[in-house]
Amino acid sequence: GAVVSQHPSWVICKSGTSVKIECRSLDFQATTMFWYRQFPKQSLMLMATSNEGSKATYEQGVEKDKFLINHASLTLSTLTVTSAHPEDSSFYICSARQWTGGNQPQHFGDGTRLSIL
C-alpha cells in the first residue's frame, strides 16, 4: 500500500520551455502532497506543500510564479516549471501523506530528473 506514482521520470528540454510533472497517490487519498528538489550530493529541500482544493504553501526563496502547483483532487498534484532555465535542472520528487495527521509518514514518488539545455 501507499504507492505514489510520479511522471515523467526524465525530461530533457530547451531553455524557456514549461514542464509539467504529475504526482498521483495510487491506492490512497492524499489531502497533502509535498514537492521537493534535490541537487547532486545534497539533501532534499522542500519547495512547497500542496493541499487539495487550496493554494500551495511555498517555502522561503521558492518563486510561486515559476513553480506552479495544482492539487485539484485527492489523488493528483501537479508541478509546472514555467520558462525553465538550466539552473532549474534538478531532481524533483513528490511525496504524499496518507492521513490528515501531520506526523504520519510521507511516501515518495520515483522522482523526475529535469535537464534544461
Partner 1 sequence: QKEVEQNSGPLSVPEGAIASLNCTYSDRGSQSFFWYRQYSGKSPELIMFIYSNGDKEDGRFTAQLNKASQYVSLLIRDSQPSDSATYLCAVFTITQGGSEKLVFGKGTKLTVNP
In the complex, which residues of this chain contact partner 1 (CB under 8 A)?
6, 34, 42-44, 46, 49, 57, 93, 102-103, 105-111
Cβ at position 44, least distance to partner 1 in Å: 5
Nearer to partner 1 among residue 84 and residue 93 (C-beta): 93
Compute φ and ψ for 17, nearest 5 degrees. Answer: -80, 150
Nearer to partner 1 among residue 1 and residue 14 (C-beta): 1
Cβ at position 34, least distance to partner 1 in Å: 8
CA distances from 97 to 3, 25, 90, 108, 116 (A): 11, 9, 23, 9, 30
Cβ contact 45:38 at 8 Å: yes
Cβ at position 16, least distance to partner 1 in Å: 27
CA distances from 117 to 63, 87, 92 (A): 21, 10, 17
